[in-house]
């Protein structure tokens, strides 16, 4: 297994994802444990792309429960009808939030969080997890993040 992820800071955002995704695939090769793989993915995203907060909310016991993450401590449970994560679960689609203050019902786990993207992970057409990424800058996520994080979500769906 690779000891660290390497992403050149001079690359464009798309190039960074293109560099990182194969490294993530290599990182999980040979390991079948869901939590171990999710934990390494969050570390790879945090240290490869320098996200403020990145983590998994797993569908469990009728709500979203905090899983492996990197960043400041976060809310542990989110109802399906709450927050950006709940909206992602209910709508079954990626939600881009350029300004969290402008999203009705946004849950502020950290007051430093300014923008957010939440991507659903599917197994057999059911949402089994949402991947949540927060930034401390406004409008930090765009279609490029959506395309690549959805690609990563496709990979993660196979682990459930």
**Contact between 127 and ligand SME per CB under 6 A:** no
Between CA 71 and CA 126, with CA 77 as vertex, the angle to 5 degrees is 100
Q: Which is closer to ligand SME, CB of 40 or CB of 113?
A: 113
Site for ligand SME (CB under 6 A): how many residues?
14
Looking up tokens 């786990």 gives: 109
**Least distance to ligand SME, CB of residue 129, Å:** 13
The reply to whether 132 sits near ligand SME by the rule CB under 6 A is yes
Provide the mask over 103-122, with x wherever binding to ligand SME is found by CB under 6 A and - wherever it is not: ---xx-x---x--x------
Of 158, 89, 152, residue with least CA distance to 118: 89
How many Å apart are CA 93 and CA 43, to the nearest integer?
24
Compute the least distance from the CB of residue 10 to ligand SME, in Å. Answer: 29
Q: Decide: is 39 part of the binding site for ligand SME (CB under 6 A).
A: no
Kindly provide the residue ranges of all beta strands, DSSP E only, lying in the chain, ordered along the sequence.
53-60, 63-70, 77-78, 95-97, 115-123, 126-135
As to burial, measured by CB atoms within 10 angstroms (0-12 exposed, 13-18 middle, 19+ buried), residue 122 is middle
Contact status, residue 55 vs residue 88, Cβ threshold 8 Å: no
| Interaction residues for ligand SME, span 40-99 (CB under 6 A) | 53, 74-75, 78, 83-85
Identity of the residue, 6 or 60, whose beta carbon is nearer to ligand SME in the bound complex: 60
Please report, as ranges, the residues that interact with ligand SME according to CB under 6 A.
53, 74-75, 78, 83-85, 106-107, 109, 113, 116, 132, 134
């Amino acid at each position: 297994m690779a000891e660290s992820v390497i992403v050149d800071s001079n690359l464009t955002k798309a190039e960074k994802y293109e560099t990182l995704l194969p490294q993530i695939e290599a990182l999980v090769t040979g390991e079948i444990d869901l939590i171990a793989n999710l934990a390494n993915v969050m570390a790879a995203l945090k240290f490869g792309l320098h996200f403020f907060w990145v983590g998994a909310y797993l569908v469990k016991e009728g709500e979203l429960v905090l899983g492996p993450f990197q960043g400041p401590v976060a809310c542990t449970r989110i109802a399906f009808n709450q927050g950006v994560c709940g909206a992602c679960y209910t709508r079954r689609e990626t939600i881009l939030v350029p300004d969290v203050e402008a999203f009705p019902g946004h849950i502020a786990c950290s007051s430093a969080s300014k923008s957010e993207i939440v991507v659903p992970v599917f197994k057999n057409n059911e949402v089994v997890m949402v991947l949540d990424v927060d930034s401390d800058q406004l409008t930090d996520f765009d279609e490029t993040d959506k395309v690549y994080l959805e690609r990563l979500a496709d990979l993660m769906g196979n682990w459930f």
